[in-house]
Each structure stands twice: as structure tokens, then as C-alpha cells.
Amino acid sequence: MGSLFAELARQASTNARREVETYVREIPEFGFLDKDPRARADTLEHSMWFRRRTVELSPDNSELSAADLGHIASMGELRAGAGMSLDARQRVLRVHTALMLREINEATEAQRGGGVDELMRMMAWFAPQGERGIGAYRQGFVRVLRRRIPYIEQVALLAGSLVNGDPISAELAEALDMELPDRYAVTVFRLPDPPVVDRFLENEIGVLVKNHQAPITWGNGELIALFPVVAGAAETENLPPHVIPDLLPDLGPRQLPDLVRDFAAALARPCAVGTVTAPLPELSAALERARRISRAAPTRPASARPRPHTLADVFVELAVADLPFVDDWLRALARRLEPGPDLLATLDVYYRHDMHRGATATALNVHTRTLDYRLRRVRELTGIDPGSTRGVRTLSAVVVRHLSGAWPS
């Protein structure tokens, strides 16, 4: 056995203890080890076992055996069974990998610059076998999650792991019998009045998740759904090739409006919906953009068949939200319309029907003369013609800001 490997063998016990102490110090969920001597001894034993196997296998570049991988998977099962979160699990893997690399470096320095060949052999072994070990740990972790937690919670874990870029998403998706596409339409339903999440609602949402293969998670007044986007020409068939790369992040699957309406109907609450399409590595940033879009989008009741809003729908309102003096000006215009009555609601329907008088009057269930009166009243109160270019630019922003709930009463 070479000197580098001998040094690692000599330091195995010390390094294993340091690893356990680091877990307790840096990962709050490992605080229980200070109160549970048996669990601490088991954790220490596993740390020492892995270091012994590293020293035994790496000199000859031997692979971890099926039994080795099974042992590592059992540790993943043990951690999941103890209630460890996905975040803590990921931190454990990061800490373990960092410490192993540090130990190899320390052992190399102890040889005073010698053992370069041994170091290269060790690193050639460490990378692929470390990846196999992490995979086994993840699989064991997921096996327990599948047995212990309800389906909808597993789906929420998958959604969270996808957004956070956690590699465990592959195992979670396999356990849920879901395929992972290259792109998702990250869609945020903002719910000013969130529903009570009972078993009936969970079952209803669960059916939609299974039918549409759409991971979801909810909390803090919003539901986040990841709708798969299947690559193909359907979404871009009418676009010139040179503009497709620039617009693709704002394009979702054609069935997205129907999916949004299905979920909104299940929630049975007024909601505002924002969506951004992005590839898997960019889902975290897409979620933040979709969340901002949902905050700028108008809130509509489920009966009004809410639709997903993209950046193209609310870019004016997003800019206004960051300019208080402009927002104050628009809010002052909204206050002028409050004596209406129904003037803001009329403008909302008017612009949603592309200023078509007949369609607007029908949607409002009023005569066209009544609609004309209301539009004339808007012009009198604000000095702006709703049908003019200035009217569309200004009053449509007033309506959306009002309906988004950005202006408390």
C-alpha cells in the first residue's frame, strides 16, 4: 500500500469523528446526535466504514460492490426514516464530499509533495465511485419517502427539488412514475384568499397532477405548478426562425390555458396567474419571474376562467410597480373612476374584448348605448378617451393595477 493510502488509513478514525462533529455543528437537523449516543455511534461507524473502503478499493481502482452500495442506500433510508429534509440531505452530501477532498489534500501534504501518482489514482477512483455512492444514498432516501409520505407531499418534494436543481429529482420522478422533460412552464397561482387544504382538495389536485404530469407545491398564498413543455414545432410554427430563441422563454404549451383553468377550478378561489417557460437548469430564476408576474397580473374568480399571464401581458405593470411616482399617478386616475359606478369593471371587459363594443356589451349584459355612456363618463372623469392610443396605454394599466390588488382599499 502506498504512503498516501497509508496516511489516509492512519487518519480514518480522526477524520470520521471530525465529519460527525461537522454535521452536528453545521446542520441543525443533526443536533439530535448530541442527545442520542446510539445514533452518534452509528453515524461515526458509517463514516469510518466509508473511509476504510476508500483506502481498500482506490489503490487498484476497484468499484464499490453491490453490497457496498446497499450499505450506503441503507444509510439514506435511515436518514429519511428519521425525518431528514431534502435540504439537510443535500447539505450532508456537500459536507461529506468537501471533507473527503480535504482529507485527501491533507494526506498529500503530509507526504511533503510526494505521492503524485497515488493522488492521481485516488482522484480517478473518487469521482466515479463518489457519484455511484451518492446515487445509492439518494435511492435509499427516496424509497423511504415513497413509503412514509402521501402522494401529494411527494409531488411537492419533486417540485421543490426541480426548482432548486437538486439531483434527487430524478429518483423522486421515477418513484412517482413521472418523466422529466427538458423544459417546464413554471406557473404561479397567487391566491389572496387561500383555500383550506383538506383531503378532498388534495385528492382533486392529485388527480390533475397525475393526468397532466405536473409537479406542484403550495404555501404562503400561492400554488406553484410545473407544466411540462414538450419540444416541437407546435408552439413556434408561425414565428420566423430568427426570433424563436428570444421568445421561447415566454412561450408555453398550447394547452397551458386549459391546464390553468382546471387547476383554478379545483382551487375554487380568485387567483392571479403568472407563467415563465424555462429549461431545467433555469427553473429557479423562472420561478422568481413567474412570481413577480403573478403579483402584477389581475386577480380573477375561478368562474371567470383565469388565464396564464406572461411577461408580454404585464411588462408595463411590472415597470410601474418599481416607479412609485408613476404608480401614484395611475392610482389617482383610478380614484377618479370610483364614483362610476362599474367604470373600472367596464374598462376591464372593454380591453379584454379588444375594444369591440358589441362583444363588450354582450359580456357585460348591457345595451351598447349603456356601454357608450360609461365610456363617455370615463372620458369626462379622467380627460382620457378609452379608445385612443393614450387611453389604451394608460387606462389598461390602471385596470390591471387595480385588479392585481396592488392598491389596498
What are the structural domain ranges in the chain? 3-148, 154-310, 323-403
Q: Which pLDDT band holds residue 113 (cuts at 50, 70, 90)?
A: low
Stretch 50-68: mean pLDDT? 93
Contact 61, 124 (CB under 8 A): yes
b/e string for 88-122 if b means 16 or more Cβ within 10 A? bbbbbbebbeebbeebbeebbeebeeebeebbebb
43: which 3 cell numbers? Answer: 453515524
- The pLDDT, as a whole number, for residue 83 is 83
- The pLDDT, as a whole number, for residue 248 is 44
Q: Which of 165, 221, 215 is nearest to 185 (CA)?
A: 215
Stretch 391-397: mean pLDDT? 95
pLDDT exceeds cutoff 50 at 249: no
- The pLDDT, as a whole number, for residue 120 is 86
Please tell me the least confidently modeled range out of 47-56, 81-90, 155-164, 341-350.
Answer: 81-90
Between the two ends of the chain, the Cα-to-Cα distance in Å is: 77
- The pLDDT, as a whole number, for residue 81 is 84
pLDDT, mean over the chain: 88
pLDDT, one tens digit per residue, over 11-21 is 999 999 999 99
Q: Which pLDDT band holds residue 258 (cuts at 50, 70, 90)?
A: confident
- The pLDDT, as a whole number, for residue 384 is 95
- The pLDDT, as a whole number, for residue 243 is 46
Stretch 94-114: mean pLDDT? 84
- The pLDDT, as a whole number, for residue 214 is 92
**CA 334/CA 172 separation, integer angstroms:** 48
pLDDT, one tens digit per residue, over 192-209 is 998 887 778 888 998 999
222: which 3 cell numbers? Answer: 400561492
b/e string for 147-165 if b means 16 or more Cβ within 10 A? eeeeebebbbbbbbbbbee
- The pLDDT, as a whole number, for residue 161 is 93
pLDDT, one tens digit per residue, over 202-246 is 889 989 999 988 999 988 899 999 999 875 544 444 545 444 444
Please tell me the least confidently modeled range out of 240-244, 285-289, 291-295.
Answer: 240-244
pLDDT, one tens digit per residue, over 159-180 is 999 999 988 898 889 888 899 9
What's the angle, vertex CA 149, arms to CA 143 and CA 154, rounded to 5?
Answer: 75
**Alpha-carbon 372 to chain mean position:** 46
- The pLDDT, as a whole number, for residue 187 is 95
Q: Where are the beta strands (DSSP E) in 169-264?
A: 183-190, 216-219, 222-229
Q: Which pLDDT band holds residue 378 (cuts at 50, 70, 90)?
A: very high
For domain 3-148, say whether CATH 1.20.81 is its number: no
- The pLDDT, as a whole number, for residue 289 is 95
Please give the residue that has the higher pLDDT: either 238 or 303.
303
Query: Can you name the residues that pair with 397 across neighbouring β-strands?
Result: none
Stretch 26-30: mean pLDDT? 90
The helix-helix angle for 343-352 and 357-364 (nearest 10°) equals 130
Q: Which pLDDT band holds residue 385 (cuts at 50, 70, 90)?
A: very high
**CA 116/CA 3 separation, integer angstroms:** 11
DSSP sequence for 300-357: B-GGG----B-HHHHHHHHHHHT-HHHHHHHHHHHHHHTTSSSHHHHHHHHHHTTT-H
276 burial type by CB count under 10 A (0-12 exposed, 13-18 middle, 19+ buried):
buried
* Rounded percentage of the chain residues whose pLDDT exceeds 70: 92
- The pLDDT, as a whole number, for residue 305 is 85
Q: Which pLDDT band holds residue 365 (cuts at 50, 70, 90)?
A: very high
Stretch 291-305: mean pLDDT? 93
- The pLDDT, as a whole number, for residue 238 is 52
pLDDT exceeds cutoff 90 at 315: yes
pLDDT, one tens digit per residue, over 332-342 is 999 999 887 89
Stretch 240-261: mean pLDDT? 61
pLDDT exceeds cutoff 50 at 288: yes
* Rounded percentage of the chain residues whose pLDDT exceeds 90: 58
Give me the CATH topology for the region 323-403: Arc Repressor Mutant, subunit A (1.10.10)
